[in-house]
């Protein structure tokens, strides 16, 4: 049987990262390719404790159908947490629990984007969301990044140029793949531009809690006077990814279609893991746990940055993230990162070449992404040494 | 801010059932409105045991990112189970784990249906899937049901009439809302018609294991010589709904877009609950558990049927399901079930009026759905008595 695949899915390839990780599945390969949080950071004992207790004491409420909007105790706990911790939550904002922040992007796109409508994205950006927008037939318009976040002139130009711009997708903190954090000044200007052009902002903040340097910058959502910001957060990096529990905070005017979308997508998110998040937020020392993760990540990031400094040819530039999971390296003179990464894999070290994060994956790109949260200290030292040698071979004078 | 909602979501209301259940949330109301499996049927002790063990012995593999295709041990266990138990699984079929069978419908629609394409559905049918198809801009074409399943002449007429028919959605066993099971002869003819008109079949079988009367009928998927059947099964009714673990079995030619869709929807399904399903299927007495559920449901269904027989005016017809969760009652002379159900709620008993399950929810409909798995025996007796009195008032001569 020859299947006729829908137009929206015909153009979309699976994540290029996934293909690269397959190449790198050889256990002898050091992988800087993934985006996994460090397993050392999972609060395993507490998760098991809460799960065991809940399944013993209130099994039926953990196992029976629940609300599409989310498990009420988690929605309440999150509401209080976001107000207190992040200054997020207008009177008319509501929280929707979703199955990973990937689903927040999926539901927002389903609710707002017609086929052919434009979605503005930082370029480069998270491939999972770019693909999600593609599966709704969105026209992606990439906006280049500066060292302090999206380029404002290019953003305004895109907002003015593109027809039916339905939202601007941004990861303001420790962006994936660049590691860049958007300055507060830029956040204010981005919000003003969104107001001027009547654009919604989809603010994705999966890494926000993983700040290990510099000063916290308030979310764009804290500036949201008229309800145009859909703010997304996740438990994947602060609890564990396989929870598949995340949330969005958006104006009540959007909740109707978002909740119907959620009903039609998967009815509701796994209840036990919503309960674990609620219990952990309200009855455990969440702040101490976050402090621990930050220290772990700070150490790993410092180690990788020091190795890059020492081993890489100075013509290769790299970002110095204040948090998150990723460092981005740019090769000199527009050299093709895909070729560089392929040779790295042959020598036993995997990274992700930049094309994977671009709106047009066919164009060559001169940067690659390195993850510092998953590899061991030894792997970081050894892997950067191998890649460093390659940079000297290629770019040494 | 006034949001511009996408065309695909603008027309879709939330499940009408949900609204009716809100009316019925008063604890004094007896609800036959839900579709929840009986909580007595959850294998709670075993679920807790497997969860505790997994979180103690292999926490990281339960908590770290996993494959979009599904947790490998569950895919293997299911492959073996489906082959042995149901005769399902061609050489070129593959299994994809999804977050509830609602997501199977979502991903199949995303992969196959362009806006404006036709989807054929049994009429009435499960509102969650009707809404899902609507959220992709599908044109729903309803095909009426006979006592032994979909009307074949109407099905062929619709296949010939509608343009770009992308699939026929059917629940062959103990259909929701009618309780009807499609005969084996009809299944063969449905498959032949699908071949003749080049249509894919989306076979949804969430209740298949809940057969408590009559002989098992092989799935349409067992007839699938050319890979056109997407078969969906779920753990919601045999383990518990909040697992949000289900699966689809489809030809490898469809797996590319389905897996990309899954990546973009929620990356992967919660791993611990996939693990619980895999362990339960392979290391516990699954057959004995199913036998227990069947006995429980048989008893409840018998009780409700006996009460309907005794209490309802004989002009009200009702189905006699061989399994599943639902009985459908039809009022005489095209009386409006919405009005009848509203009066029932005023008297303390909630059902779901038929319009909720129709392709055009605005047309009046003369049937309503009753659930027998959730209410207690006492509630069944008392609720049917109250509704029975109403039938005599309305339809007694």
Give pLDDT, residue A92.
96
Residue B214 has a CB neighbour count (10 Å cut-off) of 11
Q: What is the pLDDT of residues B123-152, one digit of tens each?
A: 999 999 999 999 999 999 999 999 999 999
Give the residue among A179, A139, A175, A131 at the shortest CA–CA distance from A15.
A131
Q: How far apart are CA B288 and CA B307, in angstroms?
A: 29
Query: Do B6 and A253 count as a contact with CB atoms less than 8 A apart?
Result: no
Asked if B81 and B240 count as a contact pair (C-beta separation under 8 A), the reply is no
Q: What is the pLDDT of residues B147-180, one digit of tens each?
A: 999 999 999 999 999 999 999 999 999 999 999 9
Q: How far apart are CA A230 and CA B64, in angstroms?
A: 27
Q: What is the pLDDT of residues B189-236, one digit of tens each?
A: 999 999 999 999 999 999 999 999 999 999 999 999 999 999 999 999
pLDDT band at B22 (very low <50, low <70, confident <90, very high): low
Residues of B in contact with A115 (CB under 8 A): 115
Closest approach of A229 to chain B, Cα-based (Å): 10
In whole numbers, what is the pLDDT of chain B averaged over residues? 95
Six token digits for residue B243: 């697992």
Whole-structure pTM value: 0.96
Q: Which residue of B has its CA nearest to A164?
A: B4
Closest approach of A350 to chain B, Cα-based (Å): 18
Query: Do A270 and B242 count as a contact with CB atoms less than 8 A apart?
Result: yes
Q: Give me the percent of chain B exceeding a pLDDT of 90.
A: 90
To test the contact with chain B by mutation, choose from A15, A63, A246 the residue with the greatest count of B C-beta atoms within 10 A, namely A63
ipTM of the complex: 0.95
Instruction: Give CA angle at A217 (B264, A214), nearest 5°.
Output: 105
Six token digits for residue B37: 């499996």
To test the contact with chain A by mutation, choose from B2, B118, B135, B265 the residue with the greatest count of A C-beta atoms within 10 A, namely B265
**Segments in chain A below pLDDT 50:** none
At A149 the three-state DSSP class reads strand
Query: Do B253 and A112 count as a contact with CB atoms less than 8 A apart?
Result: no
Q: Which residue of A has its CA nearest to B128?
A: A264
Q: Are strands B93-98 and B30-31 parallel, antiparallel or unpaired?
A: unpaired
Query: Do A55 and B55 count as a contact with CB atoms less than 8 A apart?
Result: no
Asked if B386 and B343 count as a contact pair (C-beta separation under 8 A), the reply is no
Average pLDDT over residues B371-384: 96
Give pLDDT, residue A18.
67
Residues of A in contact with B35 (CB under 8 A): 65
Q: How far apart are CA A85 and CA A73, in angstroms?
A: 18
CB within 8 Å of B270: residues ≥ 6 apart: A99, A242, A243, A244, A270, A273, B99, B243, B244, B245
pLDDT band at B21 (very low <50, low <70, confident <90, very high): low
Six token digits for residue A286: 């969440």
Give, to the nearest 10 degrees, the angle between helix B44-57 and helix B271-283: 120
Judged against a pLDDT cut of 70, whether residue B25 lies above it is answered with no
Q: What is the pLDDT of residues B72-89, one digit of tens each?
A: 999 999 999 999 999 999
Give pLDDT, residue A16.
66
Q: What is the pLDDT of residues B246-278, one digit of tens each?
A: 999 999 999 999 999 999 999 999 999 999 999
Give pLDDT, residue B34.
86
Among the partner residues A35, A39, A261, nearest to B135 by beta-carbon distance? A261
Query: Do B265 and A15 count as a contact with CB atoms less than 8 A apart?
Result: no
Give pLDDT, residue B24.
60
Q: Which residue of B has its CA nearest to A106?
A: B265
Residues of A in contact with B8 (CB under 8 A): 110, 114
């Amino acid at each position: 049987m020859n299947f006729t695949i829908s137009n929206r899915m015909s153009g979309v390839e699976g994540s290029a990262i996934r293909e690269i990780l397959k190449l790198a599945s050889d256990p002898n390969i050091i992988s800087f390719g993934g985006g996994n949080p460090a397993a050392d950071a999972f609060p395993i004992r507490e998760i098991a404790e809460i799960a065991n207790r809940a399944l013993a004491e209130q099994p039926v409420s953990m196992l029976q159908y629940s609300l599409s909007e989310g498990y009420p105790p988690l929605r309440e706990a999150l509401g209080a947490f976001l107000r207190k911790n992040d200054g997020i939550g207008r009177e008319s904002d509501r929280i929707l629990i979703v199955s990973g922040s990937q689903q927040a992007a999926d539901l927002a796109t389903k609710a707002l984007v017609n086929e052919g409508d434009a979605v503005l994205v930082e370029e480069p950006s998270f491939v999972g969301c770019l693909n999600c927008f593609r599966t709704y037939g969105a026209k992606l318009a990439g906006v280049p990044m500066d060292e302090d976040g999206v380029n404002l002139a290019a953003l305004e130009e895109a907002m003015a140029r593109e027809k039916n711009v339905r939202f601007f997708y941004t990861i303001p903190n420790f962006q994936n793949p660049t590691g860049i954090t958007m300055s507060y000044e830029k956040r204010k200007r981005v919000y003003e531009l969104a107001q001027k052009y009547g654009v919604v902002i989809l603010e994705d903040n999966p890494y926000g809690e993983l700040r290990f340097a510099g000063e916290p910058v308030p979310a764009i959502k804290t500036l949201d006077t008229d309800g145009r910001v859909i703010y997304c957060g996740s438990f994947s990096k602060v609890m564990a990814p396989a929870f598949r529990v995340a949330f969005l905070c958006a104006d009540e005017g959007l909740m109707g279609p978002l909740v119907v979308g959620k009903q039609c997508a998967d009815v509701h998110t796994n209840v036990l893991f919503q309960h674990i998040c609620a219990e952990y937020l309200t009855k455990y020392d969440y702040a101490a746990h976050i402090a621990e993760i930050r220290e772990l990540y700070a150490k790993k990031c410092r180690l990788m940055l020091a190795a890059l400094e020492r081993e890489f040819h100075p013509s290769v530039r790299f970002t110095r993230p204040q948090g998150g999971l990723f460092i981005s390296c740019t090769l000199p003179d527009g050299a093709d990162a895909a070729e560089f990464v392929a040779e790295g894999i042959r020598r036993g070290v995997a990274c992700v070449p930049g094309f994977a994060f671009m709106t047009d994956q066919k164009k060559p790109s001169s940067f690659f992404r390195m993850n510092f949260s998953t590899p061991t200290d030894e792997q970081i030292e050894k892997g950067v040494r191998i890649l460093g040698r390659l940079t000297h071979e290629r770019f040494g004078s």
